[in-house]
Amino acid sequence: MKLEEQLQARSGHQCELCSSAAALQVYAIPPQDNSNTDNSILICNKCAAQVEKKEELDHAHWSACLPTSMWSEVPAVQVVVWRMLNRLREESWAADNLDMMYLDDEMLAWAKATGDHENDASVDLHKDCNGAVLQQGDTVVLIKSLDVKGSTLNAKMGTVVKNIRLVEDNTEQIEGRIEGQVIVILTKYVRKQGA
């Protein structure tokens, strides 16, 4: 039986964090090198995006589901719930639930292994000059003329850059193709088209 089928059977075809039945996926809990039912859970796209810090935290969503899912008997679910409660610990309900939650030493070490519990609820996302979230493949417009270092290329204000790529480790930079040349552009100099 495949991993996804085993997780569906265990979860009753529902997200193991919020009980949603829509758009479920296997989430392998980091750090790990081999996914199995002990270190993976079945979660919906909304939970996955927020757990992976690809979307701002929806406090109402988590306050509705974490106080229930924290009582799961599945260690992998408990680890993710503990991490999320820590990210939301500024909220009184999250701090209260965190105080009630118990993880044995081995599970606590696993939960702390990524260091995610030390972060707050803020999420670093690529945003344009107006604060609109940029996604891979978006189209943006330059709001300032830019001289490209090491090139004679001058990207004029108003230039449309299609199919951008997000620079993985720097939320202030994107990559785009202008006049056939791939360049790095600061997000503060672009506006998302249609935003």
pLDDT, one tens digit per residue, over 124-178 is 778 888 888 888 889 999 998 888 777 778 888 998 999 999 888 788 889 999 8
Helix, strand, coil percentages in the chain from 3-state DSSP, rounded to 5? 30, 20, 50
Task: Enter the pTM of the model.
Answer: 0.67
Q: What rounded mean pLDDT belongs to the chain?
A: 88
Q: Give helix 92-100 / helix 59-69 axis angle, nearest 10°.
A: 20
Reduce the DSSP state of residue 145 to 3 states and report it. coil
> Over the stretch 83-124, which tens digit does the pLDDT of each residue have?
999 999 889 999 999 999 999 999 999 999 887 666 655 567
Looking at residues 8-31, what average pLDDT do you find? Answer: 93
- Could you tell me the domains of the chain? 3-118 (no CATH), 140-192 (2.30.30.40)
What integer pLDDT is reported at residue 1 of this predicted model? Answer: 75
